[in-house]
Structure 1
Amino acid sequence: MPKRDKKLTAAEVALIRRWIDSGAKTARPEPAELPKGSSGITEEERAFWSFQPIQQPKVPKTKRRDRARTAIDAFLVASMAQQKLRFSPDADKPTLLRRAYFDLTGLPPTPEEAATFLADTSAEAYDHLIDRLLESKHYGERWGRHWLDIAGYADSDGYSDADPPRPYAYKYRDYVIRSFNDDKPFDRFITEQLAGDELARATVTNATAVAVSSPEKRDLLIATGFLRMGVDGSATDALSDRDAVRNQVVADTLKIVSTSLLGLSVGCAQCHDHR
């Protein structure tokens, strides 16, 4: 068993012993071996909720139309009614202002920006505020950081104590920020990061020429920095097993891609091929 600070209690050990003595039955029968060509994935596993196609749910009907101002509100009203809960009172304009600024840009409003919003008494005042914040360059800086966290963005290799810098990593960071600020469609955003070199028709021999041929193609090549964000010690001097280090870089890259896009880790496949 894994080492731990606290050992199993006598009752816990006895419970495990009883389970073993009773045949160590699992929740369902486990096959002794899998048929050739079988993925080993059962229909029950395929039916897991997160693997189902996205569907458009029916918006619940509610009598609280004063609170259900959007479709999302309708779902909240229906759920809260079941639990006998109610919405809190509407926030006042200064509170809404600060929430919107910190949420969308991560920065507080300036006195001038606050005065502009508070002086706008139109019904569209809040909509106008959100539009202004979405057009701010700080929006991409605020929300792009979440994708950079997912991608494992770092300005250095992170493999050894020397931790050599990645002098051009910032170009990928700026690409992500621009993509958010340009409202780039998500499918395009992902495609560029996975296959920007293919879209730009770049090869090992012509990559530099392609990069300088146009800003658009340069951005496509920069986008593939997504695939170079993992910890990388392959360029470290005096490696005892360079092939093993390269293999680990590939494994870490696959982990980043799978967890960010599939919501699953395929780390088990690094050693196993039976699932």
Structure 2
Amino acid sequence: MKLLALRLFFVLALPLLLLVAWWFASAGSTDVYRPPLRTILTTFPDVWTGERLRADVLPSVLRLLAGYTSAAVVGVALGTVIGSYRRVRAVCEPVLEFLRAVPPPVLVPVIMLFAGIGDTMKIAVIASGCVWPILLNTVEGVRAVDSVMSETARSYGIVGAARLRHVVLRSASPQIFAGLRQALSIGIILMVISEMSVSSNGLGYTVIQFQRTFAIPDMWTGILVLGLLGFLLSVLFRLVERRVLGWYHGLRASSRRSS
């Protein structure tokens, strides 16, 4: 219980400290573009009602999850193939490096030409940015699988899907989760960018509409919602990572104690 309370303290301490600093730093502000935090928090419940949460936050989260999940499936699958075969990696690496260097926001107009301006376009934009850290980390994780472990598994008859699941993916999973963590923050950014371009709902659309109508406190509340969404998704991701990689964190903890 004490350990859980200590972890909760470390998770919440810095955000709360920043909010307190913002509160006092903005307390006497008369700038219309930088209202006091007190005004923003007072406006918050009036803006983000249950109806607006369903109309704007829920569609954004669903698009993010769809794009992120698509990127995870494609990234892990392709990364496993590319990392497992040297010839495939030699052929694909130049193309991957070229595509990775293209900023995903630049692809928004191109994706619009092929996918239209609906949810498909927004999901494709999110997936196009999230896939690269997942793919490249999976490649490196698969390449780093211990050769002795692979040979031992082969000698015991662990081949095919069993070897892929219990040896390759399990050994590469810490690196894969590192890519998934990077992709999550990229996905939130691209979710907002895609909704700011052409949309009729979503967090990005709402924030830009508040800005265009000079509803500045409302705009700041939208930014706070985005921050809260990112924070909650990060905490959820950590919980899943701790659960899936429990064996890995246990090995690291035991190695630290032994050293």
Instruction: Please indicate the TM-score interval, normalised by the length of the shorter structure.
Output: under 0.3
Say which structure is richer in helix.
Answer: 2
Normalising by structure 2, we get a TM-score of 0.20
TM-score, with length taken from structure 1: 0.19
Larger radius of gyration: 1
